[in-house]
């Protein structure tokens, strides 16, 4: 009798990287459903385009780099495409998600050496690039279906995506609600809501989407796929800042609930900031990292030039991750204090 | 309910404990033979007390513990010793080790048992003696001898005794079973330990997944001051450090023991064994083993005789070989897998898992780390496993160390949760192994360096002694020429030497005092045993040096009178006697240090080191004695003999001594080989032998050289200068031989790629340097001679002095240079301990001081000379 003698531990938790990625992907499905239900087929088409491109690009690069095929099974390209497709406007022409997904996989991930090596969140790199390069198509959001007289069918939408030649729908061209709010001019908050009856409908729709993301996030927490530290830190810091300024001058600043529910707040807190590869490692580090994102988001939203700021906030904090990691090392058992900093 | 301090991390793997709990504990059938390794514990292996063919009875002591950390071994069945040889043992590295093999006579006849009647009133020493005599070691994990553990615990301020009944690893139920079947024995064992240790509190830590065992414990501990603390099931709550924190909230300091925070942990099985040993007089010959896994049709807990081959047990548990995919000794988290079952159960084997492929699928391919941080959340030591992994993989060991790699307990929690299936623990083991290897190499190099320096020092000393003797001779010769006497008198070299010696003595005393202070401080600050040992050694060295300096002064003060007296042999004899006294003191001190270390439970390595020191000291003492004996035999005859004859005798004596030393070294080597010493030890001994042989051949060469000129001497009466010249040439010859040998050794090692090349190279270079020095010395001397012969005799003394001073300066310069170089080398090597650096700096400083002194002396001599000439 002669057996293999692998070393300990011999037991392993039945949870693999591809499993983790698949779970996260699964958790976005409610939101994808709600988006499609409230805003039409655009998001679904985006997601399909982005995912296909991402997987294809990954396969191509793996072949060029002569890496084993099984890496494709880690589902990370799938997830990157999915997240990008979800964050792009449903009215996007086809090349936006395609270009974005290619950039995300090739430039933001594989160029750095593949999964685990990339310092920046690939989906957010792509999103930021698109936003800077093509600000107009990127910020053109449709009105909720409830306000549209004649919603597009799937085929109509598909035609629009690929040719852009279809008749225009009643696009809510003021970009997102947050952007509209920021450019309300001399109006007070009260007047803004009165002025724009459409806003109420949009608010309801985006709230629905945010709640769907929240559902997915809670699922991930429950499954132990993500830890609570990052999302809680992001949302708490954002809310505290919003509450402070809103309390100081409710007529000028958006309310905390608006910051929470409108825009990509919950989506980013649960799905983007928690990206394991590009976030801080320790619990404490995750709190710092998350809080940094929340603060940056508020600052850019309120005083910056971009309507929503998650991509930039996340990328900026990605920069800071090595630094955060150095300074938030946990205290090892049996040591009087934690070691800090670079030695 | 007492507070439970939850520790960071931890995991909840599937337990699979009920698998082996379906049937009650039973005795395993007596094996046909047992294989008892001599080392079933941490520490030195036991020494066999039996020979092949001996009849033994169950419970008979068949191998005795060595001094220090060790444990004895008892026969676990009655029968005949059929072999004492290397056999495969259960070890992660699948190695072989010395074992005593006993063939059963099927009778299981016991020796007469010697229980300790009335342990309740016995004192701690008696109780400990019984624990020691019954070969008890920790049955839970690594097998640390219980005696040593208790003793080291007693050396600390203990207030808490913890009984580790957590048994957190999946599958294992041996302790659970032990508690349920032998609660009374367990409690007795606890009370025996309480009696020895007198702790303020005694806590049993047990996971809440063992309700039956908890119930039994409750019943058994009624009316005692033993508290049961139920902790939540979470792996690895049974780790000593984790359990200590769970129950007391105290963290065992990094690199320390629970005893450092007043805690001693003992395992359930160990305590049952203690109770059996003392109350029933049953030595450690059996233990409970869990046989489990889905490849067994009848998993169970069995009480197994030590040394039973695992395959016999698997048959009892009805193994289905078709299903077996992995055989694990220990638990699935920290146990190791066995390539086959032909290895014996030892004192530390608590569980055998015969797993199927479904239970233990072969490892999935390793995926890239996605930095998910799950490992960190699982790590009970609050480490950053992910970073450790990156550093280990990139071989950035110093960084891994900085991230506290050595606080990793290899629990495997991180690897268990890693979604990328990275075998993290394997990386850590690799990194730890590499770091340890580097360290031991550095240590070896350092030792070699020290040995070399010591040798150099000794040679220098011998040279100086010779020179002094020679000077004494010339001085007495010079006495006959009154004019020279006048010149030499004012700057009496003896007084100068004495002064220097006194300064040296003062310096050494200061050093000794400092070393003592450092030691006391370290003791108060609670330094680790290792550090203390180190400091103790430093202190002893300093003391020894002080003693040497003292005896040198004594010698020096005596020499002036001696040199005046006509018989140099009396002086010689005195010197020898003083030497003998010094050596005896050194030997005694070495013995004391050894005994102390033994009592303090020093590591085997340290003990070996000390033993060697002791033996060396003894040897030197013996040498000194024989030298005296020889010297006293010939006092009258030497008087009439020419100095060369005396020299010859001395050389002969030296040769004899060296031959004895070489023989002894050879013996030690053979013994070590027979006793199955480790490769490292053997290498060490081989080196000693080679050194001794070399010394012997050197002595021989010197003798031969001396004999050849002797015949010439008879024809032409010798001049003192000639003698010196000859001595120098002899030295050069010796050095040449040494260099050639070192070179050969290096070349051999180089071509065979074996042995420590660095050390050998260092030897070679050093030998070369020594050779060059000797040659230079000869050249200077010759130059000096030729010039001296042209000059007047009156100037000769001064001139001689001047030259000598010059030589001294150049030698001191060389010393400074080499010290500087060594310092540079040291500081280049990363991670050189700061003490080492400091020591080297001090060495440099002292060399510089000596240089300054020598320069001063030179200047003085030069000025005197110019004055005289003018
Ligand atoms: S094996 Fe080491 S690093 Fe991994 S969890 Fe255990 S203690 Fe932490
Ligand atoms: S659990 Fe594995 S994949 Fe996750 S951070 Fe640790 S090592 Fe990397």
- Which range has the worst mean pLDDT, A311-315, B144-148, B236-240, B837-841? B837-841
pLDDT tops 70 at residue B480: no
Of B799 and B256, more confident: B256
Strand, helix or coil for residue B97: strand
User: Ligand 1 pocket by C-beta < 6 Å: which residues?
Assistant: B 378-381, 383, 385, 408-414, 424-425
Q: How many residues does chain B have?
A: 870
- Which range has the worst mean pLDDT, A148-162, B96-110, B590-604? B590-604
Helix, strand counts (H, E) of chain B = 25, 17
Does the beta-carbon distance from A11 to B426 stay under 8 Å?
A: no
Other Cβ atoms within 10 Å of A305 Cβ, number: 8
What confidence category does residue B485 fall into, taking pLDDT thresholds of 50, 70 and 90?
A: very low
Report pLDDT for B866: 56
Residue A333 with chain B: CB contacts under 8 Å? 7-8, 241, 245, 251-252, 254, 380-382, 407
pLDDT tops 90 at residue B519: no
Strand, helix or coil for residue B142: coil
Mean pLDDT of chain B: 79
B379 CA distance to ligand 1 centroid (A)? 5
pLDDT in tens, B731-783: 777 777 777 777 777 677 666 655 566 666 677 677 777 777 777 777 777 76
- From the CA of A225, which ligand is nearest? 2
What confidence category does residue B833 fall into, taking pLDDT thresholds of 50, 70 and 90?
A: low
Q: How far, CA to CA in Å, does B363 sit from each of A21, A325, B326?
A: 20, 30, 12
B168 is known to lie in a ligand binding site: no
Ligand 1: which residue has its CA nearest to atom 1?
Answer: B410
Report pLDDT for B137: 92
Report pLDDT for B793: 46
Q: Give the span between the Cα atoms of A309 and A241, in whole angstroms.
A: 15
Question: CATH second-level architecture of B17-352?
Answer: 3-Layer(aba) Sandwich (3.40)
Alpha-helix residue ranges (DSSP H) falling in B59-173: 124-133, 146-154
- From the CA of B7, which ligand is nearest? 1
pLDDT in tens, B73-96: 999 999 999 999 999 888 877 788
pLDDT in tens, B546-556: 777 677 666 65
Ligand 2: which residue has its CA nearest to atom 8?
Answer: B369
What are the residue boundaries of the structural domains of chain A, listed by start? 16-174, 176-324
Report pLDDT for A189: 60
Q: Give the span between the Cα atoms of A234 and A265, in whole angstroms.
A: 9
Q: How far, CA to CA in Å, does B751 sit from each of A260, A318, B766?
A: 74, 53, 21
What confidence category does residue B175 fall into, taking pLDDT thresholds of 50, 70 and 90?
A: very high
Helices B568-599 and B424-479: angle between axes, nearest 10 degrees = 160
Nearest C-alpha neighbor of B188 from the set B113, B136, B119 = B119
Give, for B291, the enclosing helix (H) or strand (E).
Answer: strand B286-292
pLDDT tops 80 at residue B186: yes
Of B687 and B46, more confident: B46
pLDDT tops 60 at residue A118: yes
Report pLDDT for A8: 81
Nearest C-alpha neighbor of A238 from the set A304, A173, A310, A181 = A310
By CB atoms closer than 10 A (0-12, 13-18, 19+), residue B658 is buried
Rounded to the nearest angstrom, the gap between the alpha carbon of residue B55 and the centroid of all alpha carbons in its chain is 36
Q: Give the span between the Cα atoms of B539 and B515, in whole angstroms.
A: 5
Mean pLDDT over residues A209-225, rounded? 92
Nearest C-alpha neighbor of B99 from the set B307, B352, B289 = B307
Give, for B847, the enclosing helix (H) or strand (E).
Answer: helix B834-869
Does the beta-carbon distance from A13 to B415 stay under 8 Å?
A: no
Q: Does A7 touch chain B (CB under 8 A)?
A: yes
Q: Does A76 touch chain B (CB under 8 A)?
A: yes
Nearest C-alpha neighbor of B284 from the set B146, B87, B400 = B146
pLDDT tops 80 at residue B786: no
- Closest residue, chain A, to B260 (C-alpha): A334
pLDDT in tens, A141-195: 777 777 676 677 787 777 777 777 555 555 554 445 666 666 655 556 656 665 6
Nearest C-alpha neighbor of A91 from the set A169, A202, A19 = A169
Mean pLDDT over residues B826-830, rounded? 66
Q: Give the span between the Cα atoms of B307 and B291, in whole angstroms.
A: 16
What confidence category does residue A70 fall into, taking pLDDT thresholds of 50, 70 and 90?
A: confident
Nearest C-alpha neighbor of B440 from the set B646, B630, B678, B624 = B678
B293 CA distance to ligand 1 centroid (A)? 25
Q: Give the span between the Cα atoms of B56 and B109, in whole angstroms.
A: 9
Q: Are B750 and B507 in contact (CB under 8 A)?
A: no
What global pTM score does this model have? Answer: 0.63
Quickly tell me which residue has 């300093």 as its tokens: B542
Longest dimension (CA), chain B: 110
Mean pLDDT over residues B392-409, rounded? 89
B824 CA distance to ligand 1 centroid (A)? 38
Other Cβ atoms within 10 Å of B362 Cβ, number: 9
Strand, helix or coil for residue B83: strand
- Torsion (CA) A214, A215, A219, A220 in degrees, nearest 10: -30
Does the beta-carbon distance from B8 to A330 stay under 8 Å?
A: yes
pLDDT tops 80 at residue B629: no
Alpha-helix residue ranges (DSSP H) falling in B716-792: 720-752, 757-790
Q: Are B356 and B294 in contact (CB under 8 A)?
A: yes
Q: Does B15 touch chain A (CB under 8 A)?
A: no
pLDDT in tens, B282-311: 999 999 999 999 999 999 999 999 999 999
The alpha carbons of chain A give a radius of gyration, in whole angstroms, of 21
Report pLDDT for B535: 66
By CB atoms closer than 10 A (0-12, 13-18, 19+), residue A340 is exposed
End-to-end CA distance of chain A: 51
Nearest C-alpha neighbor of B552 from the set B492, B587, B508 = B508
Mean pLDDT over residues B253-273, rounded? 91
Q: Give the span between the Cα atoms of B310 and B709, in whole angstroms.
A: 72
Q: How far, CA to CA in Å, does B400 sit from each of A334, B256, B727?
A: 17, 19, 56
Percent pLDDT > 90 in chain B is 31
pLDDT tops 70 at residue B589: yes
B375 is known to lie in a ligand binding site: yes
Structure token pair of residue B640: 């009439």
Q: Are B628 and B583 in contact (CB under 8 A)?
A: no
User: Ligand 2 pocket by C-beta < 6 Å: which residues?
Assistant: B 369-375, 385-386, 389, 417-420, 422, 424
Residue B414 with chain A: CB contacts under 8 Å? none
What confidence category does residue B619 fall into, taking pLDDT thresholds of 50, 70 and 90?
A: confident
Find the CB nearest A10 among B332, B370, B403: B332
* Strand positions, DSSP E, B313-455: 326-329, 336-338, 351-355
- Closest residue, chain B, to A321 (C-alpha): B371
pLDDT tops 50 at residue A46: yes
The number of CA neighbours under 13 Å toward the Cβ of B340 is 6
Report pLDDT for B136: 92
Does the beta-carbon distance from B334 to A16 stay under 8 Å?
A: no
The number of CA neighbours under 13 Å toward the Cβ of B442 is 15
Cis peptide before A235 (omega within 30 of 0): no
Does the beta-carbon distance from B404 to A343 stay under 8 Å?
A: no
- Most confident stretch, A3-17, A254-268, B234-248, B501-515: B234-248
Nearest C-alpha neighbor of B869 from the set B784, B806, B799 = B799
Other Cβ atoms within 10 Å of B439 Cβ, number: 11
Mean pLDDT over residues B618-631, rounded? 71
pLDDT tops 80 at residue B574: no
- Most confident stretch, B295-304, B468-477, B701-710: B295-304
pLDDT tops 90 at residue B861: no
Number of inter-chain CB pairs under 8 A, A vs B: 179
Mean pLDDT over residues B386-404, rounded? 89
- Which range has the worst mean pLDDT, A21-25, B64-68, B719-723, B836-840? B719-723
Ligand 1: which residue has its CA nearest to atom 4?
Answer: B414
Of B598 and A124, more confident: A124
What confidence category does residue A317 fall into, taking pLDDT thresholds of 50, 70 and 90?
A: very high
Percent pLDDT > 70 in chain A is 85
B375 CA distance to ligand 1 centroid (A)? 8
pLDDT in tens, A9-18: 888 887 888 8
Structure token pair of residue B585: 């003191």
pLDDT tops 80 at residue B498: no
Of B148 and B870, more confident: B148
Nearest C-alpha neighbor of B504 from the set B453, B454, B549, B561 = B549
Q: Does A286 touch chain B (CB under 8 A)?
A: yes
Mean pLDDT over residues B810-822, rounded? 77
Beta bridge partners of B230: B206
Residues 8-27 of A with CB under 8 A from B: 8-13, 15-20
Quickly tell me which residue has 């309700």 as its tokens: B211
Mutational test site, ligand 1, from B332, B335, B380, max ligand atoms within 8 Å of CB: B380
Å from B834 to nearest chain A CA? 16
The complex's ipTM works out to 0.81
Q: How far, CA to CA in Å, does B734 sit from each of A18, B643, B664?
A: 72, 21, 23
Mean pLDDT over residues A54-63, rounded? 91
Report pLDDT for B457: 85
Q: List for chain B the helix, strand, coil content (%; round to 5).
A: 60, 10, 30
B72 is known to lie in a ligand binding site: no
pLDDT in tens, B844-853: 788 888 888 8
By CB atoms closer than 10 A (0-12, 13-18, 19+), residue B434 is middle
Q: Are B360 and B325 in contact (CB under 8 A)?
A: yes
Q: Give the span between the Cα atoms of A124 and B430, in whole angstroms.
A: 38
Sheet holding B326-329, edge to edge: B26-27, B300-305, B286-292, B351-355, B326-329, B336-338
pLDDT in tens, B228-254: 999 999 999 999 999 999 999 999 998
B265 is known to lie in a ligand binding site: no
Find the CB nearest B367 among A17, A276, A332: A17
């Amino acid at each position: 009798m002669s057996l293999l003698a692998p070393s300990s531990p011999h037991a392993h938790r039945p949870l693999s990287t591809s499993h983790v990625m698949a779970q996260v992907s699964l958790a976005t499905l409610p939101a994808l459903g709600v988006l499609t239900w409230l805003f039409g087929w655009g998001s679904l088409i985006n997601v399909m385009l982005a995912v296909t491109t991402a997987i294809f690009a990954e396969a191509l690069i793996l072949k060029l780099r002569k890496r084993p095929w099984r890496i494709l099974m880690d589902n990370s390209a799938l997830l990157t495409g999915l997240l990008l497709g979800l964050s792009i406007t449903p009215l996007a022409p086809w090349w936006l998600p395609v270009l974005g997904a290619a950039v995300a996989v090739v430039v933001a991930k594989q160029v750095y050496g593949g999964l685990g090596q990339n310092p920046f969140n690939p989906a957010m790199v792509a999103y930021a690039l698109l936003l800077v390069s093509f600000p107009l198509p990127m910020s053109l959001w449709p009105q909720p279906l409830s306000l549209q007289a004649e919603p597009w069918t799937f085929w109509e939408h598909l035609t629009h995506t690929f040719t852009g030649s279809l008749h225009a729908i009643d696009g809510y061209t003021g970009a997102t609600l947050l952007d509209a709010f920021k450019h309300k001019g001399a109006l007070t908050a009260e007047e803004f809501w009165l002025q724009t009856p459409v806003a109420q409908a949009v608010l309801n729709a985006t709230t629905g989407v945010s709640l769907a993301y929240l559902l997915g996030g809670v699922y991930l927490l429950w499954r132990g796929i993500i830890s609570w530290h990052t999302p809680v830190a992001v949302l708490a810091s954002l809310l505290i800042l919003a509450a402070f300024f809103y309390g100081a001058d409710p007529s000028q600043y958006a309310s905390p609930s608006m910051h929470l529910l409108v825009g990509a707040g919950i989506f980013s807190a649960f799905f983007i900031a928690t990206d394991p590869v590009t976030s801080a490692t320790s619990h404490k580090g995750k709190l710092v990292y998350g809080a940094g994102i929340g603060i940056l988001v508020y600052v850019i939203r309120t005083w910056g030039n971009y309507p929503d700021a998650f991509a930039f906030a996340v990328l900026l904090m990605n920069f800071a991750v090595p630094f955060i990691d150095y300074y938030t090392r946990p205290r090892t058992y049996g040591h009087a204090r934690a070691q800090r900093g670079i030695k | 309910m007492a507070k439970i301090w939850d520790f960071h991390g931890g995991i909840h793997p599937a337990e699979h404990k009920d698998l082996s709990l379906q049937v009650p504990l039973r005795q395993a059938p007596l094996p046909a033979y047992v294989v008892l390794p001599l080392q079933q514990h941490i520490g030195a292996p036991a020494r066999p007390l039996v020979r092949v063919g001996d009849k033994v009875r169950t419970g008979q002591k068949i191998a005795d513990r060595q001094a220090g950390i060790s444990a004895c071994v008892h026969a676990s069945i009655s029968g005949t010793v059929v072999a004492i040889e290397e056999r495969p043992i259960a070890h992660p590295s699948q190695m072989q080790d010395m074992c005593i093999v006993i063939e059963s006579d099927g009778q299981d006849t016991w020796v007469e048992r010697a229980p300790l009647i009335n342990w309740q009133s016995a004192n701690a020493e008696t109780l400990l003696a019984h624990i020691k005599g019954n070969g008890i070691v920790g049955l839970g994990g690594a097998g640390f001898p219980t005696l040593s553990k208790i003793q080291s615990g007693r050396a600390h301020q203990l207030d808490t005794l913890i009984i580790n009944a957590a048994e957190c690893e999946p599958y294992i139920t041996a302790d659970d079973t032990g508690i349920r079947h032998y609660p009374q024995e367990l409690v007795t064992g606890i009370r025996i330990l309480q009696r020895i240790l007198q702790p303020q509190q005694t806590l049993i830590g047990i996971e809440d997944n063992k309700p039956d065992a908890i119930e039994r414990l409750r019943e058994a501990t009624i009316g005692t001051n033993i508290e049961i603390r139920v902790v939540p099931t979470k792996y690895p709550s049974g780790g000593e450090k984790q359990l200590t924190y769970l129950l007391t909230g105290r963290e065992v300091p990094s690199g320390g023991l629970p005893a450092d925070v007043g805690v001693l942990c003992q395992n359930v099985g160990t305590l049952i064994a203690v109770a059996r040993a003392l109350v029933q007089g049953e030595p450690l010959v059996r233990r409970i083993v869990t046989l489990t896994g889905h490849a067994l049709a009848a998993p169970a807990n069995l009480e197994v005789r030590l040394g039973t081959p695992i395959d016999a047990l698997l048959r009892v548990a009805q193994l289905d070989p078709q299903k077996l995919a992995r055989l694990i000794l220990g638990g699935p988290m920290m146990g190791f897998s066995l390539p086959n079952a032909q290895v014996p159960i030892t004192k530390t084997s608590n569980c055998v898992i015969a797993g199927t492929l479904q239970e233990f699928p072969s490892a999935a391919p390793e995926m890239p780390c996605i930095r998910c941080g799950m490992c960190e959340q699982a790590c009970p030591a609050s480490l950053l496993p992910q970073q450790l992994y990156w550093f280990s993989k990139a071989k950035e060991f110093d960084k891994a160390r900085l991230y506290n790699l050595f606080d990793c307990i290899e629990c495997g929690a991180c690897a268990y949760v890693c979604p990328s299936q990275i075998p993290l623990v394997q990386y850590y083991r690799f990194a730890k192994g590499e770091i340890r290897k580097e360290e031991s190499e550095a240590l070896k190099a350092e030792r070699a360096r020290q040995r070399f320096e010591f040798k150099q020092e000794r040679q220098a000393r011998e040279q100086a002694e010779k020179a002094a003797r020679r000077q004494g001779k010339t001085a007495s010769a010079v006495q006959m020429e009154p004019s020279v006497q006048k010149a030499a008198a004012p700057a009496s070299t003896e007084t100068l030497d004495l002064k220097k010696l006194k300064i040296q003595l003062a310096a050494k005393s200061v050093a000794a005092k400092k070393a003592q202070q450092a030691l006391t401080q370290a003791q108060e600050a609670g330094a680790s045993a290792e550090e203390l040992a180190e400091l103790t050694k430093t202190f002893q060295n300093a003391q020894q040096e002080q003693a040497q300096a003292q005896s040198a002064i004594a010698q020096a003060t005596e020499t002036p009178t001696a040199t005046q007296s006509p018989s140099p042999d009396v002086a010689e004899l005195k010197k020898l006697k003083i030497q003998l006294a010094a050596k005896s003191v050194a030997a005694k001190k070495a013995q004391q240090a050894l005994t102390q270390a033994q009592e303090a439970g020093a590591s085997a390595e340290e003990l070996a080191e000390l033993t060697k020191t002791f033996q060396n000291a003894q040897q030197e003492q013996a040498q000194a004695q024989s030298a005296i004996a020889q010297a006293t035999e010939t006092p009258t005859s030497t008087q009439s003999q020419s100095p060369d004859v005396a020299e010859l005798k001395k050389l002969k004596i030296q040769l004899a001594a060296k031959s004895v030393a070489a023989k002894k070294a050879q013996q030690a080597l053979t013994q070590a080989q027979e006793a199955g010493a480790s490769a490292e030890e053997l290498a060490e001994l081989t080196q000693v032998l080679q050194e001794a042989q070399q010394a012997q051949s050197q002595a021989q060469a010197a003798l031969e050289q001396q004999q050849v000129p002797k015949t010439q001497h008879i024809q032409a009466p010798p001049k003192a200068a000639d003698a010196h010249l000859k001595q120098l040439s002899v030295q050069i010859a010796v050095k040449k031989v040494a260099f050639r040998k070192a070179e050969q050794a290096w070349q051999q090692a180089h071509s065979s790629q074996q042995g420590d090349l660095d050390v050998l190279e260092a030897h070679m270079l050093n030998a070369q340097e020594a050779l060059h020095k000797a040659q230079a010395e000869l050249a200077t001397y010759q130059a000096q001679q030729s010039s001296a012969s042209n000059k007047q005799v009156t100037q000769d003394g001064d001139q001689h002095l001047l030259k000598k001073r010059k030589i001294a300066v150049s030698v001191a310069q060389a010393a400074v240079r080499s010290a500087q170089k060594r310092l540079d080398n040291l500081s280049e090597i990363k991670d050189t301990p700061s003490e080492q650096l400091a020591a080297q700096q001090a060495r440099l400083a002292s060399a510089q001081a000596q240089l300054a002194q020598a320069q001063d002396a030179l200047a003085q001599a030069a000025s005197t000379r110019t004055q005289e000439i003018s």
